[in-house]
Structure 1
Amino acid sequence: MNDQQRPRTPDAVVPVAAVPDAAPASRAFDGTWDLVAEFLARQGVDTVFGLPGDDVLVVSAFERAGIRLVWCRDQRLAVHMASGYAVTSGRTGVCVVGKGPAVANAVGGLLEAATGCSPVLLLAGGTAVESEGARTFQDAPALALAAPVTKWAGRVTHPDRLLPALRRAAALVREAPRGPVFLEIPDGFLEQRFEVVEHLLDSRPPLPARYTAPEPPAEVSGAKRPVVLAGGGLRGARVPGAAERLAEALGAALLVTASGRGSVAESHPLFCGLAGLYAQPPVRTLLDDCDLVVTLGSRLEETATEGLPQGVPVCQVNVDADEFSYDWPGPLVHGDAAATAHHWADALGTGAAGAGRETGPTRPADGGWTCRITAVRRDLEAWAALPAHPELPDDQVRVKAVVREISRALPERAVVVHENGLMDIWSYLYPVLRLPAGTRSVVPSEQTTLGYGAAAAAGAKLAAPEAPVVAIVGDGAFDLLRVELPTLLRERIGLTYVILDNGGYGWLQRMVDNLDGPPHLFTADDPARPEFDGGVLTWTVAKPADTAEALRAAMSAAAEGRVAVVRVRCSADDWPPVTGVASDEEIRACAAPAGPR
């Protein structure tokens, strides 16, 4: 065989010397907080709340990264502010605290964020790795404290693990269902030089798998007297109007939980207000007669299920199996609540929102159900117009009337923040408070942590600087915020607080009153408090005619970056008609319609 006859090796497999790829670009940092700040900035974080420990290098690191620092005076309130920022903006709220007791103080904020599904990242200092077990100063079991109330609690054990830990935390805090994440950064390598791969700083959240919503279960498509209940899982939905479209398709009454408020247009003709603890008798009667409840993004905690009929199927739609309540009959649908509702609305025949096509039920619904819904709305409107507690003196300010004035004063696309004491429960009752179009609502979770709303309002304002923010709080809750008033003034966080002031803890006083206990054990006979110092603008409402002008002036001052307080002097006898405060007889009497229709 000559050379021309010898088989040739194909070019594709001719061995060649390997040419190494160019090394990925790297980035050097002079210390831990420089790396943390750069990572957060690339994640879109523009504001950080907190109270640092001895390591004040964090201050200059965040300033160099262009991140606004809101340094607070209390770690728990700082977490609440980060939570209010997160709920209002839909982005991650970040909080930085020291180690040991600072983490312990922040745990109450983490608990509220966990049950409220707030995406909060808490970064804390920690004992140096080489000093573990040496009984060092402020050593504490931070992971054990944080783990029960977070999605993940981690500790960086080596400098090389800092960036991977940050990437994991950023992914988990945003993954549905959202919730808080805790990361402890030990002291030992705070000033160590870091070098990381540049492109790893641009971490992005995991891409969700393609979601195909199932067809409506038979219980849904066959219901004749359905109710749609929108929960907090609909907050921040990419495509709004999901609950409304499904209610239209089913011919269903439309209700919300407390945390779901703001996710549904309250002007919708099928909307009947809140379910559960805050449902008034006309709504409870409607629920008694329904044959299906569809819940969208609700955990069905106790305050949401009070009054739901036993034995009626409850079709739950939730993004995670752990979010379902397993106490109710009915199908469990695993998926995004908004996407599922839109898909079911399409399947049942309604057109896209705003498309000009006819909307309405395409399945055989009970012909009188829509009329019932309309009648319930009419009864609620009549009740809201009634004066509350006619047994009180005529010159006594009624909280119900104050809340109605707030409704009139609110512009579209405002932010309303709630507490959950006695007097401020009036603000949960629809249509005493009616949210204008596009209004966002920030409420405590089922934990109803005292002081959450008062602090969260500051974070809400920083998340929505162009929106008027009105916080409706009790005096007990606002007292917890007093330590942070200098923070609000320094940062020019302009918002309006309406303080319903009965001189103490009205809910507890009402419980004592129901047992014929001593008057004013938890509230003062005269609820007037000392005025605030240091630049807080205050208006006192002592008689009904003062309310509208005080609200107008306060909201105008807040628009100029001032902290404005409207203090309403009220009585613990001005209780809201909800279970646990009032008897069934009192609630029915309070909700009696105002004369013939």
Structure 2
Amino acid sequence: MKEGSAISTLGSVTNPGTASPEAATATCWPVAARTLRDAGCEVVIGLPADEPGLLDAAASTDGLTAVPVRDQRVGACAAVAAAMLTRRPVVLALTTGPAFTNALTGLLEGMSLGAPVIVVTVRIAANEIGRGGFQETDHRSLAQSVVKDHLVVATGDTLQWALRRAAHLAVNGKPGPVLVEISAETATSTDAVACAPYAAPVRALRSHPDPADVAEALAVMAQARRPLVLAGGGVRAADAAASLRMLATEWGAATATTASGRGTFDELDPHCFGLVGLYATPPLTTALADVDVVLAIGTALEETVRMGWDLDRVRLIHADVDASTFHRAVPAEITLLGDARLTTEALRAAWARQGDDIAGQDGRTGWRRTVAAARRALDADAKAVTFAESPTRAVLRVLPDLFPDAVLVQENGLHDIWGYHISALTLPADFPIVGPGEQTMMGFGLPAAVGVAATRPGRPVVLVCGDGAFAMSANTLPTAAELGCPLVMVVFDNNGFGWPRFLRRQDGHPSAQVDFRTCLPMAALVEAIGGITATVTDEESLRSVMERARTAVDAGRPALVVVPVDDDDVPVGIRRIFGMEGAESC
């Protein structure tokens, strides 16, 4: 089976024999499972309900993998990560009341990321609505800001329509979560629910930008002397990375990404800035400030993308599949509404038609030399950083060498933000990465690793997080063990919540409330599920510890690597934004 397809061995951990498949076949759930599979879903994640439901039906349906979790928040994050990695709709199976509300934090992150998740829940019986029915919940009101739409299945004859409609909405336009609420009467009815003949999987529809807009964009691009191509997560969602890399080369542009667009460009390329905004790295920031034309594609230009970067002074060409992103944060001179791949291909075709004699080509060649010189200086500075100066950067630096075949899962805490700087972690093109969006919820990483493992079975998963984030989702560990996740957990341990401690100290406030007086026994928990643990304390132990972790995951065992850190090693982007000493170098 091709990579990216969930396999039956993961489904086997659900042990469907413990819940009679026949119990589910007398309800709507087998039809729901087959409908979701035929729409293009492969994975159903959720907490088992009191009675056999969607998760049970999925475990008995060929082509679906059921992933039971022990916490709905974990399930939501896992579903979001799986959807981000595969760009296929992933199903989150919930029930009403606290089960539903517990998942909302993960769905908030999923909406921020544009993750195509289909949330399937049930509501109480109609004759108890408004009468104090047990676990009565207004799902629509609670979820309206974290889902694209809310569909209600009041009778069995609308079940298939609602589920296929949800799959269509989840992957089209700006992808995102969609809620399907199934009435108790439909969920528990023993009447046969009609199942229409097989239908083709739902697909993401693609649209071309207006040729007139392309022509205007091309005129601006031709005048550029110091151009930059900025790729967001929409580029990866549209499978546009290869085409965009060629456009950047043909235009003579430097390249950069947002956090969710990372993997579009080869960060080893001397013309790559890495990430921008909060994660921009000196001395590249000097060259970044000189950019005159930016082609931003597949990004909403959120606040972290713009931090410390004056986009009002550049000529901005903004391309996206969602018109609502235009002019929201930064006015664009040219807007291109369309699929990222088709937009890129249209620009490349129009650029080629102009021929080789394009004004400014020599100037752009000089610009690329300037960027390359800044990259050489950055790379030299970063290579000189020792373990004693920065344990965080020393550990991050070895990950691509020892885990070139891994999927990287990131959190967004004080120390692991170093992983967003190419001075600390430099990744090749198409390296698979999953991280939080603009909400940057704490505790996203461990559940996300489970979602990644469900869609990339057998492939190593490397999680980078802080001790606070690890503790927040430590209840994920038994699920990871049951799934046999080949998981390496790199935990930067500063015995507290690093971000609020940093901010409080900046303002002269006491930080005792964010210090951990009783620390989670991380090593004991990992060892209890059959994993190996080690602590990196110096340069000499670093390589051997990471090699042990590699050996462990190759044998199917989880590995915990603890890296003690202190709060003096503040990532350079944060130093720059806060005007701290040392912000001029990595």
Per the alignment, residue 369 of structure 2 pairs with 371
Q: String of CA shifts for 1:159-202, please: whole Å, max 9, x gaps.
A: 22211111111111111311111111122232322342522655
- Give the direction of change, closer, same or farther, for the CA distance of 1:196–1:202 in structure 2 (3 Å limit): farther
Per the alignment, residue 265 of structure 2 pairs with 264
Per the alignment, residue 276 of structure 1 pairs with 277
Secondary structure in 1 matching 2:484 = coil
Per the alignment, residue 317 of structure 2 pairs with 315
What letter corresponds to residue 489 of structure 1 in structure 2? Answer: A
Per the alignment, residue 536 of structure 2 pairs with 541
Is residue 426 of structure 1 aligned with residue 424 of structure 2?
no
Deviation at 1:59, TM superposition (A): 4.2
Per the alignment, residue 550 of structure 1 pairs with 545
Deviation at 1:207, TM superposition (A): 5.0
Per the alignment, residue 574 of structure 1 pairs with 569
Deviation at 1:583, TM superposition (A): 4.2
Per the alignment, residue 407 of structure 1 pairs with 400
Supply the distance in 1 between the matched residues of 2:356 and 2:384 (Cα, whole angstroms): 36
The TM-score, its normalising length taken from structure 2, stands at 0.88
Deviation at 1:369, TM superposition (A): 1.0
- Give the direction of change, closer, same or farther, for the CA distance of 1:270–1:371 in structure 2 (3 Å limit): same
Supply the distance in 2 between the matched residues of 1:151 and 1:88 (Cα, whole angstroms): 20
- Give the direction of change, closer, same or farther, for the CA distance of 1:530–1:271 in structure 2 (3 Å limit): closer
Q: What pairs with 1:227-266 in structure 2 (closer than 5 Å)?
A: 227-266=228-267
Q: What pairs with 1:435-584 in structure 2 (closer than 5 Å)?
A: 435-518=427-510, 521-524=513-516, 529=521, 531=523, 532=525, 533-579=528-574, 583-584=578-579
Bigger Rg, structure 1 or 2? 1
Q: String of CA shifts for 1:229-288, please: whole Å, max 9, x gaps.
A: 111111144354233222212211111111110122223332121111010232221122
Deviation at 1:153, TM superposition (A): 1.4
Supply the distance in 1 between the matched residues of 2:250 and 2:199 (Cα, whole angstroms): 46
Per the alignment, residue 326 of structure 2 pairs with 324
- Give the direction of change, closer, same or farther, for the CA distance of 1:365–1:130 in structure 2 (3 Å limit): farther
Alpha carbons 1:418, 1:473 under 8 Å: kept: yes
Per the alignment, residue 348 of structure 1 pairs with 351
Per the alignment, residue 336 of structure 2 pairs with 333
What letter corresponds to residue 581 of structure 2 in structure 1? Answer: E
- Give the direction of change, closer, same or farther, for the CA distance of 1:580–1:425 in structure 2 (3 Å limit): same
Supply the distance in 2 between the matched residues of 1:176 and 1:127 (Cα, whole angstroms): 32
Supply the distance in 1 between the matched residues of 2:294 and 2:54 (Cα, whole angstroms): 50
Secondary structure in 2 matching 1:504 = coil
Is residue 73 of structure 1 aligned with residue 65 of structure 2?
no
Point out the structure with the larger helix share: 2
Q: String of CA shifts for 1:344-397, please: whole Å, max 9, x gaps.
A: 22322399xxxxx99999846345312211112112202212326xxxxx8676
Q: String of CA shifts for 1:453-486, please: whole Å, max 9, x gaps.
A: 2211111122112432111111111112211211
- Unaligned runs of 5+ residues in structure 2 are 1-23
Secondary structure in 1 matching 2:583 = helix
Alpha carbons 1:575, 1:581 under 8 Å: kept: no
Per the alignment, residue 286 of structure 2 pairs with 285
The size of the alignment, in residue pairs, is: 553
- Give the direction of change, closer, same or farther, for the CA distance of 1:376–1:217 in structure 2 (3 Å limit): same
Is residue 97 of structure 1 aligned with residue 62 of structure 2?
no
- Give the direction of change, closer, same or farther, for the CA distance of 1:518–1:132 in structure 2 (3 Å limit): closer
- Give the direction of change, closer, same or farther, for the CA distance of 1:111–1:585 in structure 2 (3 Å limit): closer
Supply the distance in 1 between the matched residues of 2:459 and 2:130 (Cα, whole angstroms): 50
Supply the distance in 1 between the matched residues of 2:357 and 2:243 (Cα, whole angstroms): 13
Q: Which moved more, 1:361-370 or 1:283-292?
A: 361-370
Per the alignment, residue 38 of structure 2 pairs with 42
Is residue 588 of structure 1 aligned with residue 583 of structure 2?
yes
Deviation at 1:96, TM superposition (A): 0.6
Per the alignment, residue 113 of structure 1 pairs with 110
Supply the distance in 2 between the matched residues of 1:119 and 1:54 (Cα, whole angstroms): 27
What letter corresponds to residue 588 of structure 1 in structure 2? Answer: A
Q: String of CA shifts for 1:469-522, please: whole Å, max 9, x gaps.
A: 111111111112211211111121221110111112111111122233446542
Supply the distance in 2 between the matched residues of 1:396 and 1:370 (Cα, whole angstroms): 32
**1:52 alignment partner, one of 43, 48, 51:** 48
Q: Which moved more, 1:165-174 or 1:54-63?
A: 54-63
Supply the distance in 1 between the matched residues of 2:520 and 2:542 (Cα, whole angstroms): 16
**2:133 alignment partner, one of 136, 157, 161:** 136
Per the alignment, residue 14 of structure 1 pairs with none
Q: What's the % identity of the aligned pairs?
A: 33
Per the alignment, residue 27 of structure 2 pairs with 31
What letter corresponds to residue 76 of structure 1 in structure 2? Answer: R
Q: String of CA shifts for 1:276-331, please: whole Å, max 9, x gaps.
A: 10102322211221211110101000000123333221110001101224322421
What letter corresponds to residue 317 of structure 2 in structure 1? Answer: C
Per the alignment, residue 166 of structure 2 pairs with 169
Deviation at 1:334, TM superposition (A): 0.6
**1:198 alignment partner, one of 191, 196, 199:** 196
- Give the direction of change, closer, same or farther, for the CA distance of 1:206–1:395 in structure 2 (3 Å limit): closer
Alpha carbons 2:254, 2:271 under 8 Å: kept: yes
Alpha carbons 2:222, 2:359 under 8 Å: kept: no
- Give the direction of change, closer, same or farther, for the CA distance of 1:239–1:466 in structure 2 (3 Å limit): farther
Supply the distance in 1 between the matched residues of 2:581 and 2:398 (Cα, whole angstroms): 24
- Give the direction of change, closer, same or farther, for the CA distance of 1:537–1:581 in structure 2 (3 Å limit): farther
- Give the direction of change, closer, same or farther, for the CA distance of 1:528–1:41 in structure 2 (3 Å limit): closer
**1:380 alignment partner, one of 375, 378, 381:** 378
Supply the distance in 1 between the matched residues of 2:535 and 2:299 (Cα, whole angstroms): 38
Alpha carbons 1:75, 1:97 under 8 Å: kept: yes
Secondary structure in 1 matching 2:188 = coil
What letter corresponds to residue 457 of structure 2 in structure 1? Answer: P
Supply the distance in 1 between the matched residues of 2:572 and 2:272 (Cα, whole angstroms): 20
Supply the distance in 1 between the matched residues of 2:544 and 2:150 (Cα, whole angstroms): 48
Secondary structure in 2 matching 1:190 = helix
Supply the distance in 1 between the matched residues of 2:164 and 2:301 (Cα, whole angstroms): 32
Deviation at 1:127, TM superposition (A): 1.1
- Give the direction of change, closer, same or farther, for the CA distance of 1:541–1:359 in structure 2 (3 Å limit): farther
Secondary structure in 2 matching 1:584 = coil
Supply the distance in 1 between the matched residues of 2:309 and 2:533 (Cα, whole angstroms): 42
Is residue 178 of structure 1 aligned with residue 148 of structure 2?
no
Supply the distance in 2 between the matched residues of 1:367 and 1:41 (Cα, whole angstroms): 50
Deviation at 1:137, TM superposition (A): 0.2
Alpha carbons 2:234, 2:299 under 8 Å: kept: yes
Supply the distance in 1 between the matched residues of 2:357 and 2:143 (Cα, whole angstroms): 48
> Runs in 1 of length 4+ with deviation above 6 angstroms?
357-362, 525-528
Q: Which moved more, 1:310-319 or 1:429-438?
A: 429-438
Supply the distance in 1 between the matched residues of 2:518 and 2:184 (Cα, whole angstroms): 51
